[in-house]
Structure 1
């Protein structure tokens, strides 16, 4: 990226510009379709059908009905409506510190937001994040998968004792705002079993992490295993490389129940010819430039470099990730794993002075989050980690000279 003075910045966090800022193929697709036609989706256009067909090939066959919208927030709001219509229930289970969008309905199911606003609604239930580094069940637990899933089962049982019924379990496939978390494999399957038994459905929010970012798979929920298929998948952000487009993919059963209301679902701009042309171009670039394989290769290299820094710098407590979705958990001490919030803020400020854009997430705002455009290179990875090494070394020298045991950066 470049600022108004032409200075170049390395972008390590922009998962919206999925295949790269202003990718010429994306710009060309939008421009060419704009020259032909752009109108609302009451007018049928081949791009809509072609795009839905292409997108369907990336998903399990069971997810066969598509709704196109303009943003991830719209997608999640629609998914919530569909879940309630299908199940005839109201309540929702979400993961702690989750963020699902800015609409009123989504603020209500986003602990990251509602804890600082009007608080938790009676129909919202919050489950622990399946974080095996700093969560309630950690890497030394004999079966953290079952333990975390049983927390969801307990929530369902408690809700039932109060006469409440579960419509959906709503979760990011890889919790991002919660601290760049990689749920242990098998967790979603066990949760889905409990939720389905209670008459609810499973909604996978792929808005931050879909479209090959995980590298190994096109969708992050597929990391859980081939036997796991959500009832609804929501998409946004990277789907249009910065163009406003989003999508909800649902099973036939859920879609038919939603249609049975007799109230037409219509979105003026969702699925318009230009948006679909852009969506098709994004899929073309991912395939043509082998960006899934690239994410795996560069992501593994970046993880390797960061783990080397973990050995060198005690402030790095954990390095976790998959593909180009990586978190670096900064801590004050190894025993308590206290979040190094001030240090993390100082580090990203120093990085910006070095023309590197990085940010923090997690409840303690202490997790460095890597979600760069998928064209992020080996050279970029090395440059970032070398710069982090230099800054952390300077920070350690500064603390040593001040002879302080507490934070030097508050």
Structure 2
């Protein structure tokens, strides 16, 4: 390592940043201007290499808490006994599958297990193709559903080489700052009208319409305050056109809403395919697609699909342990109770740039704007100041102007007091600096 690559005094982690750049290449993202070098996690807490503790208010990967002992023990026990693929018979995938589909309605009875949410969403798109015989797909223009070639065409982070393919249409996303149709009341019908127009375009182009993929809380769009019944006009449009509704539950699923186990049940619609990922294994790489038997049969008959690591015994053990912890520790009810308490604290915050505060279970958003325009720079400052004070948050939205809080499910009232109390201090500090 050269001298320039060594950490400067008082800048822990600088050497790691240099090594990442050398080994991983450019544009490998990290959180925060001064990235946190984490070495240990427990519950809702993370520790860095210097021993400093951070309250994790962002990560949904450790859904039941960092390094939950029951999940750790399940992984270790199964890894010491057997780990292979599903071309051999083993009970783990069946036991987990039965427990998982027991949490779902709408005739969603059959499962494919994979390793990532990206893979799950890729399969969902192919299921829609298999059922309809068409390739046209619709998503919002401010979403993210993964990084395979197929699902990355739905996302807005970077346009694909050669531009977006002609079989993809991206409709305007619901928006809290500038609602579709000019008002919150008009937004459901306006969203549906845009979907209808996109279907007509796909049909006219010869692609036909296979399906609409969405997150039921529109998480990457900034959780724009939609509510139960919002999707009803869109569901009618999709059904009339013969397409499927593909529901990405990676962020709202497994009880995060506090009122329902799944975001689609909270929003009030019946999906044809449900996908899930990150929270499912508490950090172990496991994901799944759940659908109706008729959709599964169409997919299995149209595509020869096998996933070596999907549904392996260790992944199934991890996922089953997560389900059991959610039930045993009452984490859905905790999301409801602590979520309501936290939202109350957040709604008491005062700052001239706060446009809106929203919450759903243990999922929160603070939208910053001034004069009807997104205050992205200010939101970025808030995130960095909170990290400096030991609270980890993120931001989201079209302009990255929405503060995003999505803590592990054991988050407590005491944790909320610390997080929102610190946020109040940061907002006051930034307000004072702006006035100086």
**Is TM > 0.5 for Structure 1 vs Structure 2?**
yes
1:325, CA displacement in angstroms? 1.1
**Post-superposition shift, 1:308?**
0.6
Which of the residues 271, 279, 290 maps onto 2:330?
290
1:77 maps to 122
Q: What RMSD over aligned residues (CA atoms) do the two structures have, in Å? A: 1.5
Deviation at 1:321, TM superposition (A): 2.0
Q: Which residue of 2 aligns with 1:393?
A: 428
User: Any conservation in 2 of the 1:181–1:321 contact (CA below 8 Å)?
Assistant: no
In structure 1, how many angstroms separate the alpha carbons of the residues matched to 2:158 and 2:358?
A: 25
For residue 346 of structure 1, give the secondary structure of its aligned residue in structure 2: helix
Using the alignment, how far apart are the partners of 1:17 and 1:239 within structure 2?
9
Question: Residues 356, 212 of structure 1: CA spacing in aligned structure 2 closer, same or farther, 3 A cutoff?
Answer: same
Give how far 1:294 is off: 0.3
Q: Contact between 1:19 and 1:375, CA under 8 Å: does it hold in 2?
A: yes
* Cα deviation, residue 61, structure 1: 4.8
The TM-score normalised by the length of structure 2 is 0.87
Q: Is the 8 A contact 2:249 2:275 kept in 1?
A: yes
**1:322 pairs with 357, 360, 364, which one?**
360
Which stretch shows the higher mean deviation, 179-188 or 50-59?
Answer: 179-188
Mean Cα deviation higher: 322-331 or 126-135 = 126-135
Alignment of 1:4-403 (within 5 A): 4-114=49-159, 118-138=162-182, 140-225=183-268, 228-261=269-302, 263-309=303-349, 312-333=350-371, 336=372, 338-401=373-436
CA shift for structure 1 position 183 = 2.8
Q: Which runs of 4+ in 1 moved over 4 A?
A: none
- CA offsets 1:105-138 (integer angstroms, 9 cap, x no match): 11111123327x6432211111121234433235
1:57-80 CA deviation, whole Å, 9 max, x = no partner?
Answer: 100051011000000011011111
**Which segments of 5 or more consecutive residues in structure 1 lack a partner in the other structure?**
402-410
CA distance in 2, matches of 1:241, 1:186: 31
- Rounded to whole Å, the distance in 2 between the matches of 1:207 and 1:356 is 23
Secondary structure of the residue aligned to 1:286 is helix
Following superposition, the deviation at residue 190 of structure 1 comes to 2.3
Q: Using the alignment, how far apart are the partners of 2:417 and 2:343 within structure 1?
A: 11
Structure 1 Cα separation of the partners of residues 174 and 382 of structure 2? 27
Question: CA offsets, 1:341-389, max 9 Å, x none?
Answer: 1111111111111111111111111111011100111111111111111
The superposition leaves residues 64-97 of structure 1 with CA deviations (integer Å, 9 ceiling, x where unpaired) of 1100000001101111111111111011110121
Q: Partners in 1 of 2:224 and 2:134 — Cα distance? A: 29
Contact 1:294-1:374 within 8 A present in 2 as well = yes
Q: CA deviation at 1:142?
A: 4.2
Q: Distance in 1 between matches of 2:392 and 2:186?
A: 37
Shift of 1:155: 1.9
Counterpart-to-counterpart distance in 2, 1:184 and 1:362:
18
Residue 199 of structure 1, CA deviation: 2.0
Question: Taking structure 1 as the reference length, what is the TM-score of the superposition?
Answer: 0.92
Match for residue 30 of structure 2?
none
Q: Secondary structure at the match of 1:247?
A: strand
